[in-house]
Chain A
Amino acid sequence: MMLKIKRVPTVVSNFQKEEGEEAARRGGGCGRNCLRSCCIQGAKLPLYAFKRVDKAVNEKGVLQHETTQPPVAFLDSLLLGEWEDRVQRGLFRYDVTACETKVIPGRYGFIAQLNEGRHLKKRPTEFRVDKVLQPFDGNKFNFTKVGQEEVLFQFEASENGEVQFFPDAPVDVENSPSMVAINVSPIEYGHVLLIPRILECLPQRIDRESFLLALDMAVEAGNPYFRLGYNSLGAFATINHLHFQAYYLAVPFPIEKAPTKKITTLDVGVQISELVNYPVRGLVFEGGNSLRDLSDTVSDACICLQNNNIPYNVLIADCGKRIFLLPQCYAEKQALGEVRPELLDTQVNPAVWEISGHMVLKRKKDYEEASEENAWSLLAEVSLSEERFQEVNALIFEAISYNADASGDEAENLLQDADVKPKTHEGVDAINQRSCPTMVTGNQECLVQQ
């Protein structure tokens, strides 16, 4: 059995064609200045090399850091300038600042946007939603097919420990650079995609290095309103090529204001809490003796979820200080016909932004009638049940406490083992998992560390 849903895919690149068209074009020369071998030779793109500070969180150090208010950070300014340049060059499908948006009255302050243009001119496409890990398929659209003009800059850790910027850096194909590209169907100003090691064509799947790069970007931008998000397959990622999304919205998201209940603090200083009084159940990670500790803990939790075939979304908020991890089951419910038709009618796909409280609505009627109850009832469908959430937490805590005990290299090896022998990958298993909680192997003891 295979679970599929039909949805209108988002056009993220001007070179993203209908599947049929894509096939028809193959064989001839490319001629569209893309990132594949046909065009990449000799290509030059701006390169931003950031300084990777593995900040030690002693309290004084952080205090000093907090007290100096930097002017607009260079990365922030670079990204805004390059993005605006693409606006003025007409590369976007619409002007997102012309889309009406508002805060919905109520306790939580959900944000609604009316975006009627985002999904025009696309046919609904079938998406398989029961496999969180799927192999990369070079025949489908991927980010090596975008035009070079859609790439804003290459993004990497600086080799000499200093911030560096090169306006015209050759693309070093051997070193597989990471790139930041525009999303031509933005949901807010500055909507970009961070594509780690773009030429390696990695499938949508979190690994430690890629996640650290995303966290680095949040820290480096230094703007609490520039957040990064991740959708796994089965949790409304539409493109199976590893990418994070990010955009600017200078309004606190409801999820960022939600009360939390502390669960534990790990040896590496990472504090883990649970969201309370929020429609979607989820975990919040913050602190850590170093940025890498925080990053590795969250990556290990993500790796655990994807290896167990549990779809999830991640929000990196507050300049990388807080990370929200939200396992979800909406697409699975949708495929099984368990979602109420009135929710499906809105065609809102509850990916990371929607779960965080930013709702992009396609119909004027839904926008005008948007209420906290509506937003809440949609998100409530996304959430795992309390019982299932606790089972999933047990799995996560087992994974991260195990890895935290192991030394670095050992942990990597263990992870690679886990990658080679995923616990469950077949769709049928996924369904069984939801209905058969006995399958879950985690237990309460694993949460206690001495």
Chain B
Amino acid sequence: MEPQLAALIRQSIADRYSLFAPEALADLPDTFTITDPCISGHPIVFASRAFLKMTGYSTHEVLGRNARLFQGPRTSRSSVMEIREAIREERAVEVSIVNYRKDGTPFWMLFRMSPVFGKEDGRVVHFVGVQVPILGRRRRSGVSSCDGDRVSECVFGGSCRREVCSDSLVELGGRVLDLDSADSQGLEIEGPCEANDLEKRIAATAVSNILSVLSHYSESTGRLVCGNRCNLPGPGLLTSSLNISLGRIKQSFVLMDPYLPDVPIVYASDAFLKLTGYSRHEVLGRTWIFLSGPDSDPSVLHQVSPFRLYSFFSSFDLVMMTSKDSSSFWNLLHISPIRNATGKIAYLVGVQNEELCKNQDRQGRTPEMWQLSVVGAVKVAVRSSSMVACSSK
């Protein structure tokens, strides 16, 4: 793992819940992970002992990785979609899903995920994911991915839960031929599987235990958390789904909020921080003019000032920027307005391209085309992540 990522992961838990929290969490008997949507790649920042034992991984193999590490060919894609959607909508979800251990053996588990909200600003700071292994195999008439509270609505749901597996091979009027044998452990992985009430209760209890530990330790840092959204996210705050989507874009860029005074930076990519040497909290909330170096052409800077930003759109200009260690560098800057799902301008994106001469890694594409691809990726991320069902807003 890169040192920067390792540091971010340590801080993710310690800054919010104090240095003592990992120990307290480790003492819990539950199998769970905690992920941080604000770190690029939405990585695991904590994994419980029981979880490591169940999956066969060590801590350092799991921290910093995305939970898709545990998915494999037999993981139902529609269940993965459901989890993705819950993350996008910042809500809890419960789904039965096939995961894989380190040795490659698949197993069924009940996955229950719940967001953790920061009390002060209503932002999602973490997701807690509890994994309860499903013991014994229960079929649901061949219908997959109707889970949790949806089971009762499912046409086939519930009615034949205890159906014997061998019967299901001849369901659908004998048309089905199941060529796949059960896996090495004798647990059948094919087809759907439903957790029983006990397993569901275990998962629910675990989530509430973990949340109460987190909430307890958050008091010691003064940065309180809770399991339910207490506040709507304030202005200038990004949803976790937008953070996750933007985290996938590896180039250097910032998002600015044109509706706040001085058009402050509300998101800065990892590459931007690397380029300038600043840490995220030193950049967020500030107008990016502070980065411009003494040698910048004042007329260009004037255009970039908040009053003139709109006339600056869609052009490429050379500006001088200064990094934290006071070194200056030329930068090709491109600014574009970014609209959200309502079709209104929500942000400005500023895409940097450090110097023009470093063409070697661009595989034959001009710096301008690279910058435009960032604009495109940001447009997709912002538009899509602001499309939330109207009822939940």
Contacts and interface: CB of A to CB of B under 8 A. Distances in A.
Contact of A83 (B314, B343, B371, B376): B376
A321 B76 CA distance: 11
Nearest to B178: A265
Interface in A168-190: 189-190
A313 to B, nearest CB: 19
Contacts of B82: 252, 257
Interface string A98-116: 1111111111010100000
B376 A84 contact: yes
Which size class do A's interface residues fall under?
A: 35 or more
A444 B191 contact: no
A74 B369 CA distance: 12
B7 interface: no
A37 interface: no
B177 A448 contact: yes
B375 interface: yes
Given A67-B69, A77-B370, A225-B384, A256 B389 contact: no
Contact of A259 (B104, B143, B177, B373): B143
A83 B376 CA distance: 8
Contacts of B68: 66-67, 69
A264 B389 contact: no
Given A59-B104, A99-B343, A257 B41 contact: no
B58 to A, nearest CB: 15
Contacts of A69: 41, 66, 68
Contacts of A166: 364
A80 B380 contact: yes
Contacts of A83: 376
A250 B143 contact: no
A127 B175 CA distance: 38
A259 B384 contact: no
A248 interface: yes
A88 B314 CA distance: 7
Contacts of A448: 175, 177
Interface stretch (B122-130, B193-201, B243-251): B243-251
Contacts of B119: none
A165 B363 contact: yes
A60 interface: yes
A81 B370 contact: yes
A251 B88 contact: yes
Q: Of residues B81, B88, B390, which shows the largest number of chain A Cβ atoms within 10 Å of its Cβ?
A: B81
A447 B72 contact: no
Given A105-B389, A262-B176, A263-B175, A77 B81 contact: no
A75 to B, nearest CB: 11
B377 A80 contact: yes
A60 B104 contact: yes
Interface in B85-134: 85, 88, 100, 104
B175 A444 contact: yes
B77 A85 contact: no
A415 B236 CA distance: 59
B325 interface: no
A78 B370 CA distance: 8
A84 B341 contact: no
Contacts of A418: none
Interface in A275-324: 276-277, 286-287, 318, 321-322
A261 B76 CA distance: 11
Contact of A287 (B73, B84, B342): B73
Nearest to B76: A260
Given A66-B69, A97-B383, A259-B154, A109 B173 contact: no
Contacts of A167: 364-366
B251 to A, nearest CB: 8
A125 to B, nearest CB: 29
B305 interface: no
B253 to A, nearest CB: 12
B117 to A, nearest CB: 21
Interface of A: 57, 59-60, 62-63, 66-67, 69, 71-72, 74, 76-78, 80-85, 88, 95, 97-107, 109, 111, 165-167, 189-190, 225, 248-252, 256-265, 267, 276-277, 286-287, 318, 321-322, 444, 447-449
19 contacts: A59-B104, A60-B104, A71-B250, A100-B341, A101-B343, A101-B383, A103-B389, A166-B364, A190-B376, A250-B385, A251-B384, A261-B143, A262-B142, A262-B144, A262-B191, A264-B176, A265-B180, A322-B77, A449-B177
User: 4 shortest A-B CB distances, which residue pairs?
Assistant: A80-B376, A81-B373, A250-B384, A105-B391
Given A60-B104, A76-B377, A102-B387, 10 more contacts: A63-B72, A67-B69, A81-B365, A82-B369, A103-B388, A104-B390, A248-B384, A250-B384, A252-B88, A262-B191
